[in-house]
Amino acid sequence: MNAAILINLAYIASAILFIFGLKQLSSPETARRGNLISSVGMLIAVVVTLLNQGIVDYRWIAVGVVAGSIVGIFAARTVAMTAMPEMVALFNGFGGLASLLVGWAALYDGRTSVFIAVTIFLSILIGGVTFTGSLIAWGKLSEKMNSRPMLFSGQQIVNSLLMIAIVAFGVLFAMDPTNVTWLYVLIGLSFVFGVMFVIPIGGGDMPVVISLLNSYSGLAACAAGFAINNLLLIVAGSLVGASGIILTQIMCKAMNRSLSNVLFSGFGSPKTGAQQIEGTVKPIVPEDAYYILEAASSVLIVPGYGMAVAQAQHVVKELQELLEKNGCEVIYGVHPVAGRMPGHMNVLLAEADVSYDVLQEMDQVNPRIENFDVSIVIGANDVVNPAAREDEGSPLYGMPIINVDKSKTVFVLKRSMASGFAGVDNPLFFKDNTRMLFGDAKESISALVREFG
């Protein structure tokens, strides 16, 4: 059996591991195993590719492996769960940048056909857009820049001109790939377009943007695979691109919005016509909340980004166990876009060893919401905002939410009356059956746990 056949067999094995690992990622219970399986597939692919290239001097590769391992270990151990969304955004961005560099390097292979030039153009364009777009998403998620949409007069005209320029210089580059001037112009335009693509999108839509940029990073890798004639890179990029698009569509459906509406509506920008919220906030202290929970026979817990900020998942698990010991049924209602990235709440709760059996999606809890004695909202805001159901002037209107306001009693755990990440006020806080438990979520729940003790 010659070397070419062995290499292709190794690539097939890697592709199978990628597909099987991706399938395992569809369930929280098997996600860790799926990640490991996919990592093994990538290790095989990298090793075989290096051997196939006949590289003699591996010193720079060894330096890259060591440096990457150090950064990876440092990030895994030091990055807080609250910072995981922006870390994922950076991963997407650097994936796009890597594809851009691979496409660029393909110019020096000596193969300058029109097809190769087009694939290089696509890898540079998509990779550049993914890189700078992900940096903007990182800035908005980490709140290092304003999370509201950045809109200006003539913005659509500017974006249209950018697209026309990209197509024009792409044609020039495909006609003459040896002219590096067109290449540099394309790189610059792709970077600018990535910024212009993301700045009009509000912080409330960042989970969808992260998913979409993840898809873009896969498409960029796929284009780079065509540019360097690497079948496995084409397969891996296609898998990431397709799965990212599917996840993006699922999240858009969960928000009852189209992808074009997410990308071009300027969601989260100030709007007129929203109803004025009237009513009186009714605070509650942990001691009084305990008496209500102690008598409850069913409790719904709705986690949000505030739970991640407070790192309250472990004390929430303690409260769950105490309630169950008291004969109470406890269910977690997880909204598809809760937190700031897909699956954010699932990861947090898995970290606290919360059983997957008690995690239910929005469509599972809403039909029985009126039968819950208490709904405990921990740092969630937009995903439980009844304005999405009641106020046609609200930018959230039409978005499916967890209807906690229909349960018998609602406890909302927040530090203040500030609006959510989308910048939309929440009438839930003023409902007759709502009680506000102000303070750090971890401290508030710890106080409830002590009352049960």
Output the six-digit token pair for 434: 């709502």
Distance CA 353, CA 224 (A): 40
Output the six-digit token pair for 142: 């980490």
Pairing state between β 434-438 and 374-378: unpaired
Q: Quote the strand ranges of 387-440, DSSP E.
A: 409-414, 434-438
* Active-site annotation holder among 205, 382, 391, 405: 382
Show the DSSP H helices in 280-435 as ranges.
Answer: 286-294, 305-310, 313-325, 344-351, 362-365, 387-390
Tokens 């016509």 -> residue: 273
What is residue 32's three-state secondary structure?
helix
Element spanning 188, H or E = helix 180-198
Distance CA 39, CA 21 (A): 9
DSSP summary character for residue 394: S
CB-CB contact of 218 with 242 (8 Å): yes
Tokens 């009680």 -> residue: 435
Determine whether 363 is an active site residue.
no
Q: Which of 390, 393, 418, 413 is nearest to 403 (CA)?
A: 390
- By annotation, the residues acting in catalysis are 382
